Structure 1
Amino acid sequence: MALTLTALAAPAQGQSRTASPAAERAALPAGDGWAAESGSTTGGRDATADHVYTVTTWAEFRAALSAAEDNPSVIRVKGTLDALSDSVGNPLTCKDYEAKGYSFEQYLADYDPAVWGYDEEVSGEQEDLRAASAKLQGAQVKVNVPANTTIVGVGRNARILGGSLQVRDVDNVIIRNLTFEDAFNCFPQWDPTDGAYGEWNSEYDNLVLYGSTHVWVDHNTFTDGRHPDSEQPYYFGRLYQQHDGELDVVRGADLVTVSWNVFKEHDKTILIGNSDSLTAVDRGKLRVTLHHNQFKNLKERAPRVRFGQVDAYNNHYVVQKSGYGYSFGIGFESKLVAEKNAFTVPKGVGLGQILKKWSDAPVTTSGNVVNGKPVDLLAVHNAEIPEETLRPDAGWTPVLRASVDNPRAVPGLVDGGAGAGKLH
């Protein structure tokens, strides 16, 4: 069934608009993080009437992205866009993407460590069919966002369910007021060589910034939602992990501001730089600001950083007692500045865990508070985990900060103002 998409005309006098004009046409304020460097981030601020769209289904959303064609465009998301739905909104299931001959039961039988072992990556017919099935799902759930675009949720309940937005090799994108829920993989891959006992690995991040510049991600909520890891089964003694990241900034992406979002109930949350080997691509890039975000009940990567000059300030970290790994991952050639953040940490969780050393790189930590009290995160980490001693001083001083709040005030400010549905 062909889909015809038309731009939404301006409302007649007396009619209410479907989204706030201020939100639709907003540009990143001057000085607000790295996305304000070397020019502004305006998204679709200058869109003409024929490039302003309201979408209510995944098919309409895909059509609007295609119609934008790098012209300044505003795409209003209304209600829930279910990525696993057909052109008229009928729901689809994982079965709809299975390549002929694929059988999960046979996959388990073929690659059981008792049969396959742990020394070689899986290969053969069922792995090929799994990869083909994943490719079919990927074509459905992944969409590319063009340059000079604003995507904004309408009202308090705009949601993208099961979708993966790819901001790839473009400039000037704004994404605001959306709930990103459950970008899950129907066909995870078993890798027996991942760690001592193997792991199930998935793709499809909720939002990927790949080689793009001037991106503002603001007032969104990221969550596993309907498929939390806690409810997933175990196969071969390992969690059947159907989620990847909530937000990835990779492959030379640069000049990004991530503000007033909620990231919650997830494992691999934010990855900045995805390989130690990409020195030619990532060195001097991956400049990201994270401020006034809530990170709640996460396992790790809030964020994990390679290469980038990352400024994380005035964020609120609500740490879970069970399953917590770390918040700040210090990776290869990273230059992380983590200042004036607030941590709410339950008893029994060592504060040295807040930092995690993946590679030798310096880090700046100052002015942070834990449960309302000042804590030197670097000193505590080095004292509690001496085998992972970190060096001080990231070697640069952030200047692109629109406003800096007292860290003791951050929990109230962030918990009350961050996330989708709280955009004024």
Structure 2
Amino acid sequence: MPARMCHARAIVLVMGCASLALAVSVPAQATGHHPAPRHNNGIERAVLPKGDGWAAAEGSTTGGAAATPDHIYTVSNRAELVAAFEDAGDAPKIIRIDGTVHGNSDADGTPIGCEEYESDGYTLDKYLAAYDPATWGREEVPSGPMEDARLASAKLQKAAVNVYVPSNTTLIGVGRDATVVGASLQIQDVSNVIVRNIAFEDTYDCFPQWDPTDGDTGHWNSEYDNLVVYGSDHVWVDHNTFSDGDHPDADQPRYFDELYQQHDGLFDIVKGADLVTASWNVLKDHDKTMLIGNSDGAGDTDRGKLRVTLHHNLFKDLNERAPRVRFGQVDSYNNHFVATRGSVYGYSYGIGAESRLVAEHNAFTLAGEFDQAKILKKWSESSLTAADNYVNGRRTDLVAVHNAGVPEEQLTEGAGWTPALRTGVVHPLLVPLLVDLKAGVGRIPGA
């Protein structure tokens, strides 16, 4: 359906025109994991509204809305979360997170430290001594006993951190403070998943790899994203908050004169994933934020897929990849991009191999130290549509500003398609107020 555009007359029009999540008043029942939980007034059975982005195409996204009472779970630790996924299988299920779930934890849910995974004699001090460029050099990647020990240790952590979400699932936070810390939710090779009302924090890698051949000076490379959609379709990610929590990379030490980076992405959509809507989320305080398509060489897998809608999300104080797009037919509208004074800002939209990005009706609030020409970053020869975007309150032609400011990276206009699956499009001048007020965990109406 054609998009509807609201005009900036009054806040009441914003609230009336905004497409907020629908709720069906069907009481959910617990299965006995815990005493009677707090209720979310029926939002557990909400489905993606009709026409709300790519996840509404070619069918619908209903998650676990049809769950029977025996497939409704309330969990408060990793073991309970995994058990609920395994118990229900692919049957429709509603899984409510009540409190904080730690990925790095023991069987009772008590958080554990990185030392609990150390194997085969690994310690960071020994690793640093083995691969110090002063003795190892910079021509070869690490190998030998201490790299093998790092890999063995990393394998143990991976088994704890990665948690796999099955098909026909609604995963939803209870109340306003549901949190997943240090776990990587994997929506891999499944269909029909809804994730709402959860704070995803600090999915950190205990065992980053040193690669002296990465770039001119070498880099520390880490694993794990807070949330990954991998080879899956019909996924709705709504009203969540993604960040590094209390463990930002900026606070980490430097080894071999490079930042010891323990985080990868916040939320990636990769490897043939398709029909995804991400709405009303907050992604903040991070470096590598969101990939849509993870490789220039994945055309056989990704062409015709990676259809993603991003709307009414807050992207705040992010260095890059908000998102970086390869192959995807991506519609990004009514998002608010913020870079505050003193933060690190590289770019917002990365234009990658065969990408077809439409970026319209967005708002950018950038501190004066940042160059507006760098909102867009050209990685490969691809075209995009970028219309009716506002930077610091002024309508701005992002492509023209980029081409004038970065003459060696000329972009061409015209993504070659027109989005039709949009709801509640508002004037970009109203986006900062609306998104900052309504996006993120704890802000679903009725939660």
CA-to-aligned-CA distance 1:286-344 (integer Å, 9 cap, x gap) = 00000000000110000000000011000000113442100000000100110010000
Aligned to 1:109: 129
Contact 1:331–1:360, Cα closer than 8 Å, also in 2: yes
Return the letter of the residue paired with 1:151: L
Aligned to 1:87: 107
Which 4+ runs in 1 deviate beyond 4 A? none
Gaps of 5+ in 1: 1-6
CA distance in 1, matches of 2:37, 2:102: 24
The CA deviation at 1:101 is 1.1
Aligned to 1:179: 199
The CA deviation at 1:119 is 2.1
Return the letter of the residue paired with 1:386: P
Alignment match of 1:215 (pick from 235, 239, 242):
235
Aligned to 2:284: 264
Contact 1:293–1:418, Cα closer than 8 Å, also in 2: yes
Aligned to 1:138: 158
CA-to-aligned-CA distance 1:354-400 (integer Å, 9 cap, x gap) = 00011110011000001111010000000000001111111111000
Aligned to 2:438: 417
Return the letter of the residue paired with 2:252: Q
Contact 1:29–1:36, Cα closer than 8 Å, also in 2: yes
The reply to whether residue 8 of structure 1 matches residue 30 of structure 2 is yes
Alignment match of 1:197 (pick from 217, 234, 252):
217
CA distance in 1, matches of 2:106, 2:389: 48
CA distance in 2, matches of 1:53, 1:17: 10
The CA deviation at 1:21 is 4.1
CA distance in 2, matches of 1:225, 1:171: 29
CA distance in 1, matches of 2:135, 2:380: 35
Which deviates more from structure 2 when the two are superposed, residues 285-294 or residues 189-198? 189-198
Contact 2:188–2:229, Cα closer than 8 Å, also in 1: yes
The reply to whether residue 331 of structure 1 matches residue 352 of structure 2 is yes
CA-to-aligned-CA distance 1:189-245 (integer Å, 9 cap, x gap) = 111111111110111100010000000000000010110112111011111000010
CA distance in 2, matches of 1:53, 1:241: 36
CA distance in 2, matches of 1:81, 1:163: 8
Within-5 A mapping of 1:169-318: 169-318=189-338
CA-to-aligned-CA distance 1:252-289 (integer Å, 9 cap, x gap) = 00000000000000000000100111111001110000
Aligned to 2:406: 385
Gaps of 5+ in 2: 1-28
Aligned to 1:341: 362
Return the letter of the residue paired with 1:358: W
CA-to-aligned-CA distance 1:2-51 (integer Å, 9 cap, x gap) = xxxxx8259xxxx9862324310011000000000000000000000000
Q: Which has the higher contact order (CA 8 A, sep 6+)?
A: 2
Aligned to 2:70: 50
| Secondary structure in structure 2 of the residue aligned to 1:114 | helix
Return the letter of the residue paired with 2:430: A
Identity, in percent, stands at 61
CA-to-aligned-CA distance 1:123-163 (integer Å, 9 cap, x gap) = 11111111111110010111100000000000000000101
CA distance in 2, matches of 1:343, 1:286: 25
Return the letter of the residue paired with 2:251: E
Return the letter of the residue paired with 2:425: V
The reply to whether residue 374 of structure 1 matches residue 395 of structure 2 is yes
CA distance in 1, matches of 2:217, 2:437: 42
**TM-score normalised by length of structure 1:** 0.96
CA distance in 1, matches of 2:401, 2:299: 31
The reply to whether residue 405 of structure 1 matches residue 426 of structure 2 is yes
CA-to-aligned-CA distance 1:72-131 (integer Å, 9 cap, x gap) = 000000001111111112221100000121121121112112222222222111111111
Contact 2:120–2:152, Cα closer than 8 Å, also in 1: no
| Secondary structure in structure 1 of the residue aligned to 2:301 | helix
Please report the RMSD computed on the Cα atoms of aligned residues, expressed in angstroms.
1.3
| Secondary structure in structure 1 of the residue aligned to 2:408 | helix
Return the letter of the residue paired with 1:88: D
| Secondary structure in structure 1 of the residue aligned to 2:306 | coil
CA distance in 1, matches of 2:138, 2:302: 32
Contact 1:107–1:127, Cα closer than 8 Å, also in 2: yes
Contact 1:19–1:153, Cα closer than 8 Å, also in 2: no
Alignment match of 1:37 (pick from 46, 51, 57):
57
How many pairs are equivalent? 414
Contact 2:31–2:74, Cα closer than 8 Å, also in 1: no
Which deviates more from structure 2 when the two are superposed, residues 202-211 or residues 106-115? 106-115
Return the letter of the residue paired with 2:340: Q
Contact 2:37–2:98, Cα closer than 8 Å, also in 1: no
